[in-house]
A and B are shown apart, each in its own frame.
Chain A
């Protein structure tokens, strides 16, 4: 073990981490899954969805923006955190419009998969029905704003990975929306279907045209195993 390695515990299990890792990164490496939504391993963490909130040294903090530190005590899979996370997923379900049975992303949607994993059946909160408009101005991509969960992945990817800054936010509070860097919609931007920003959407807000049913329902990412299974398969001493 090098000098920059240290340990902390997650629900009593010892996890090894290196200097500069966040709690979620260290846990991913160790094969411990912390539910998350706005976090994406290729992007700067944002800490906005709050799904990865853990009790860290007695205080609730988002695991994606909390640097791992020696001796930290992290609570992750407690009944209360699972309840709170499920409530957050429910909030996102009712804030936008997420009709899983006829959504193109069904089976490949992280929001839906988290709903299953966290034990959500139907939302208990009232649907807000935002009624946002679809943007189909781009030849290869369409934006279904009612599906947007404001995770900012596309904003970060477009700015940092693609160097295009196609996306941003507009407004505040419950009126906050994904905004496009052109008056006339996505078709007027430099966005391309091969951009990182087009591939990081966790739901069906950014959809590549003519690709949607290449993989049929039933054969998709989360149809066979719950979200997070890939991470948990890394855990030592566990059958993959």
Chain B
């Protein structure tokens, strides 16, 4: 294998026909091949694409899965979420640290291992989990660590560990209870065949009549989005499937893509027909790279069956195919305009709207971006009819919702439930009678207290993308709120001031509260700051990043009160911390005057 970086890079550039919008693929290939992207590679990419090196660095330094300097040959990434922590991730981390003799974030001296935390990898129903060289391990215990390290050492010499050899390298199927959408039988193209029997406009009418709304959580009417996109003028129209589910606690798209990929592709094909699009793109989060081969195989089979490619299902004039774009570790790319930027091979910074993606989306062309689950619904609606779909759910929220349930419950997993179900009914279903609070719709959603468990899961009441994290009475609500706040520090794109700086300031304020050092004034200040961040941020990430603090302040004020410091003023930095450096240098503690 040649180590001649420029010529290898040149090959990668050629593989994508020197298309600048495929920069993400080129960098992914370099990272995969060399373990990092060094200055030489950056220069070679820039030369190959006719870019400045600063433009290449701008993009590659944005994503968590790319490195500019060499790291360990084996990359051990442990999922960092309140759920993984409650299931014992800290003990697993300590076991790795002890066995490798390094701290989290470190690399062993021989360059064999790097150990680090990573944001939620979509395994909340089987934590603690880890991502090791692209392989997902679940249900880890400290006892697994020696075997894992031994296997990695054996299969080392640089290459990724063979999947089958690593202990716990299985992802358990996550579907616990299917409902109307996921209960078969259905064939691979029921939706497409029903669609092409109608005119594209009639397909959009049917989707509109079903009152289907976006399943990512925002709830935009799908029929309207498709109509806007179809009507918009462009030389190409695009269908994009948002499979970047990064909201901590959600894993329903993982279940759909691993267990029902045909349903999702069928729905995308329906959209392709309705919009007059020839290209579909799936933006698959980097953490789900383990699904790559499986999904490519399904696409290949669909092409062989005439369900993708030229003349889909024998329909003249309907050519449609699907490409999968792999992400590289950035929660913000689930935001639709950031996703488009990333799809175009740039850093995932959101765009200003207007123009909306329906008008100018991918490559400035009309684009409909929908959630994985939305496409699954669309396929079933075409096959079974809008009336069938509106038979489930509420007037404003038709159909069913996939709920990703995790935490303190007897049966975590994905539940398909009709919209309108109360939180209480869901908690009964999953075996969580003593829940003390439920984090609904992830960190960007809200902390729901027992007094509100009678509320309904629906766009008109508790709107949700499906993430449902359950916390029992033994959990520390404010510590969880701090962990969620920390998540947004890691995932802020940095583009706008309020989110870039505000998330860090909120975290520091929350640390002070959790440590019991906050005064009443501090709490008023953090609330004001949180509201400013929510009001002034540019996109949904920043606008919702203060939610863990704001919704716990609202629903659990007594917990904040219990943590208050009685002092009128507490400095952010304690005297002890302020003197730490001096203490280390001098090798002695300060002598107090009274002594």
Q: A126-B508, A173-B489 are in contact. Are A67 and B536 (CB under 8 A)?
A: no
Shortest Cβ gap from A168 to chain B (Å): 4
Shortest Cβ gap from A21 to chain B (Å): 15
Which B residues are CB-close (under 8 A) to A175? 494
Determine if A73 is an interface residue (Cβ-Cβ < 8 Å).
no
Which A residues are CB-close (under 8 A) to B104? none
CA distance A84 to B505 in the complex (A): 15
Q: Are B52 and A165 closer than 8 Å at their CB atoms?
A: yes
Determine if B538 is an interface residue (Cβ-Cβ < 8 Å).
yes
Q: Are A50 and B537 closer than 8 Å at their CB atoms?
A: yes
Q: Are A171 and B505 closer than 8 Å at their CB atoms?
A: no
Q: A171-B61, A179-B57 are in contact. Are A91 and B538 (CB under 8 A)?
A: no
Looking at A84, A167, A180, which has the most chain B CB atoms within 10 Å of its CB?
A: A84
Looking at B58, B493, B503, which has the most chain A CB atoms within 10 Å of its CB?
A: B58
Determine if B498 is an interface residue (Cβ-Cβ < 8 Å).
yes
| Residue in B498, B500, B535 whose CB lies within 8 Å of A174 | B500
CA distance A109 to B490 in the complex (A): 31
A: number of interface residues (CB 8 Å):
41
Q: Are B55 and A50 closer than 8 Å at their CB atoms?
A: no
Q: Are A170 and B58 closer than 8 Å at their CB atoms?
A: yes
Which B residues are CB-close (under 8 A) to A48? 495-497, 538
Looking at A50, A165, A167, which has the most chain B CB atoms within 10 Å of its CB?
A: A50
Which B residues are CB-close (under 8 A) to A165? 52, 54-55
Determine if B151 is an interface residue (Cβ-Cβ < 8 Å).
no
Shortest Cβ gap from B578 to chain A (Å): 12
Which B residues are CB-close (under 8 A) to A170? 57-58, 61
| Residue in A150, A174, A179 whose CB lies within 8 Å of B504 | A174
Shortest Cβ gap from A137 to chain B (Å): 15
Kindly supply a per-residue 1/0 record for chain A positions 87-111, scoring 1 wherever the CB is within 8 Å of any chain B CB and 0 otherwise: 1100110110000000000000000
Q: Are B525 and A174 closer than 8 Å at their CB atoms?
A: no
CA distance A125 to B505 in the complex (A): 7
Q: Are A47 and B494 closer than 8 Å at their CB atoms?
A: no
Q: A88-B498, A91-B505 are in contact. Are A173 and B493 (CB under 8 A)?
A: yes
Q: Are A84 and B497 closer than 8 Å at their CB atoms?
A: no
Q: Are A83 and B532 closer than 8 Å at their CB atoms?
A: yes
| Residue in B489, B491, B504, B538 whose CB lies within 8 Å of A47 | B538
Which B residues are CB-close (under 8 A) to A84? 532, 535-536
Q: A65-B352, A170-B58, A181-B53 are in contact. Are A176 and B536 (CB under 8 A)?
A: no
Q: Are A169 and B58 closer than 8 Å at their CB atoms?
A: yes
Q: Are B347 and A60 closer than 8 Å at their CB atoms?
A: no
Q: Are A87 and B352 closer than 8 Å at their CB atoms?
A: no
Determine if A49 is an interface residue (Cβ-Cβ < 8 Å).
yes
Which A residues are CB-close (under 8 A) to B532? 83-84, 87-88
Determine if A214 is an interface residue (Cβ-Cβ < 8 Å).
no
Q: Are B492 and A91 closer than 8 Å at their CB atoms?
A: no
A-B contact pairs, 11 of them (CB 8 A): A50-B538, A51-B497, A87-B498, A88-B498, A88-B536, A168-B55, A171-B62, A172-B492, A174-B501, A175-B494, A176-B494
> Chain A: residues with CB nearer than 8 A to chain B?
47-51, 53, 60, 62, 65, 67, 83-84, 87-88, 91-92, 94-95, 124-126, 128, 149-150, 165-176, 179-183
